[in-house]
Amino acid sequence: MRVQRYTDARAFSDRIAPALEPAERENNLLLGAARRLTRSPDETAFMAGVEADGTIVCAALLVPPFNLLISPAPSVVLEALAEQLRAWGIAIPGVMALAPVAVAFAALWQRLQGCGAERGKDLQLLALSAAPKATVAPGALRAAVAADIPMLIDWSDEFFPEVGLPSADRDLFVARLDEAIAAERLWLWECDGRPVSMLGYSETTARAVRIGPVYTPRACRGRGFASAAVSGLSRRLLASGRSWCLLLADVENPISTALYRRIGYEDVCVYREYRFT
């Protein structure tokens, strides 16, 4: 078994994709991050693949200050990865992976590093492969434009703290606003001539996209705007040829999870986060 480190995002993405894409839904976080690095390289990114008999059996990706992403793998593979990360002196702020993988790696890292681990969020991954159920709400979906940026920044100041995401996530969202708008990856639900909800999406593989963030200001909630926006964008994306629309929902927020299930999204798996102390 060998742990191979990569410095070229394209080479890393091309190497791991054939092994991870058969389970593209479960691996969407890592595949999406790797795909994004091919478009916007980051010299601070750590990329590695674990190989056995020339075959990728696990992949790991870390873009500081965010958590280490790990694909599912047996405990013996995770142990080899953890030991090599320690030997290389890689600083890991936390880990995000399928719940059993996150639990196993967190235990390994605590033993190797003598550190603590605080459990973070559990995120439910949901998936939709057929046209969503129709929703009824006044208004219509439209792509965000440059003139919306000041409002979107204000909304991001409210959204990210409300859902418990770090300021680094908010900063990255703001930094990518121009790019997201130019690529029509950011959308608004508009009612009576004013935006009342926002949502975006990112490509994770050639066949799948992940919708998020989804946010409705408090004053506009309870009127079905978010449901209509998610349903409308999901329908549009699937009609464009995608096979899957994916969503991540906080397990501790049953309202949003129930909203997505009503549209037709189905549970796939649960991700778990640990932060090392």
Tell how many helices (H) and how many strands (E) occur in the chain.
Answer: 9, 12
Same domain, 247 and 158: yes
Let me know: does 21 contact 31? Beta carbons within 8 Å. Answer: yes
Residue 122 located in a structural domain: no
Same domain, 111 and 168: no
Q: What confidence tens digit (pLDDT) does each residue in 197-216 have?
A: 999 999 999 999 999 999 99
Q: Please count the structural domains in the chain.
A: 2
What's the residue count for the chain? 277
| Parent domain of 55 | 2-115
Q: Which among 173, 180, 137, 178 has a CA at the least distance from the CA of 155? A: 173
Same domain, 33 and 74: yes
User: pTM of this prediction?
Assistant: 0.93
Same domain, 136 and 67: no
Residue 201 located in a structural domain: yes
Let me know: does 100 contact 269? Beta carbons within 8 Å. Answer: no
Same domain, 92 and 141: no
Q: What confidence tens digit (pLDDT) does each residue in 223-262 have?
A: 999 999 999 999 999 999 999 999 999 999 888 899 999 9
Q: CATH code at 245?
A: 3.40.630.30
Q: CATH code at 99?
A: 3.40.630
Residue 277 located in a structural domain: no
Q: Which among 105, 173, 108 has a CA at the least distance from the CA of 144? A: 173
Q: What confidence tens digit (pLDDT) does each residue in 57-86 have?
A: 999 999 999 999 999 999 999 999 999 999
Same domain, 26 and 62: yes
